[in-house]
Structure 1
Amino acid sequence: MEYHEMGDIFVCKAGRILWRVGTKHEKSKTGFVSEKAMYRCESCEGCPYKQNCTKAKGNKTLAISHKFKELRAESLENITTEFGKQLRMNRSIQAEGVFGVLKQDHDFRRFLCRGKNNIKTEFLLLGLAYNIKKLFAKISENRLGISLFELKTA
């Protein structure tokens, strides 16, 4: 499908025009409301591509979220810049390892609670425990130059 912004239409492989017929609002499970533009083909009769193009008995209908396409293009642009590449590389080094440790070593596979606030709290406690364990390891190995107990002298 080829989109022509000038007339707000799509042109299919067979050269037929899909006109905008309206707007549809969809609400997701999380409560997010998305706006989709609805397009319908003028006529799919005798089209050699119809069997591969649509399962509809009538004409092809298309629902597109233009806002989503814009955000996706912006996201792609952000992650392909030099700064974006650095951020992606550092994320794989920093965050992904922690998730691996939490899943494998701590055997954390799923949250015990339900609800956003409870999950935030549980994840906060998990992160706090991870950081305390990491700090303890550094102190025990004397990598910070401090010790847990006052050193005794003879």
Structure 2
Amino acid sequence: MEVLGVERIDAVADMGYHKGEDIEACEAVGITPYIPRPHRGVNVSNGLFPKERFRYDPAADAYHCPGGQILDTRHSSITRGHVTVQYSSPAACAGCQMKPLCTTGRWRRVNRWEKEHLIERMAERLAKRPDLLLIRRSTVEHPFGTIKQSMNQGAFLMRGLETVRAEFSLTALAYNLRRAITLIGVPRLIRAVQG
């Protein structure tokens, strides 16, 4: 922000490339993140209702399910350093007509991170500006698509962050040299390097 001379920055990333703590840290320093929320989990892969079909009611601290029931039984736990609250209602699920669309278990559980309001606020921002993802895909993804296709870089050969960084750095250098040759030609590139 100092280099650009701005007080706020909008940051856009691919789906799933974030942690809740990152969102919180960005907002604290004036960076507005726009990252799509992934739809993952066993229920989604089994074709059952995703968590997004359940509406959270902050006043009641409960979830409203697609069948009109309220999941208000809460159980807190700490998972990987995060405080997570699990919402359920075994009694409501027992007689629900939509249960086969919702869970294969005896009742549905919905987990909520203690600071999930940050993720929800980000989803609301993104819904108001869906064009950001299109702009990102058409500008940022182009070099990566070209690298994967024309340079036969489908997957990394190395393992571990440092070795993958080195492999990608070499690939990016080769891509940039090829691109420079295409744009300005070899003689101008040599003059620019010597100059």
Calculate the TM-score normalised by the size of structure 2. 0.55
Aligned residue number for residue 23 of structure 1: 76
- 1:8 deviates by 0.5
List 4+ stretches of structure 1 deviating above 6 A: none
Alignment of 1:15-94 (within 5 A): 15-27=68-80, 33-41=81-89, 43-44=91-92, 45-57=94-106, 59-65=107-113, 67-68=115-116, 70-78=118-126, 80-81=128-129, 85=131, 88-94=133-139
Alignment of 1:134-153 (within 5 A): 134-140=179-185, 146=188, 148=190
Which whole-Å CA distance do the structure 2 matches of 1:50 and 1:97 have between them?
A: 44
SS of alignment partner, residue 10 of structure 1: strand
Aligned residues: 137
SS of alignment partner, residue 118 of structure 1: helix
Whether 1:100 aligns to 2:145 is yes
Greater relative CO (CA pairs within 8 A, separation 6+): 2
Aligned residue number for residue 112 of structure 1: 157
The percent of aligned pairs where both chains have the same amino acid is 23
Whether 1:129 aligns to 2:194 is no
Which whole-Å CA distance do the structure 2 matches of 1:2 and 1:93 have between them?
A: 33
Which whole-Å CA distance do the structure 1 matches of 2:186 and 2:138 have between them?
A: 23
Which whole-Å CA distance do the structure 2 matches of 1:13 and 1:89 have between them?
A: 31
- 1:18 deviates by 1.7
Larger Rg: 1
Alignment of 1:3-14 (within 5 A): 3-13=56-66
| RMSD (CA atoms) | 3.1
Calculate the TM-score normalised by the size of structure 1. 0.67
Do the aligned partners of residues 141 and 80 (structure 1) sit closer, same or farther apart at CA in structure 2, a change above 3 Å counting? farther
- 1:78 deviates by 4.5
Do the aligned partners of residues 35 and 105 (structure 1) sit closer, same or farther apart at CA in structure 2, a change above 3 Å counting? same
Do the aligned partners of residues 22 and 141 (structure 1) sit closer, same or farther apart at CA in structure 2, a change above 3 Å counting? same
Q: For structure 1, which segment, 34-43 or 125-134, has the greater mean C-alpha deviation from structure 2 after superposition?
A: 34-43
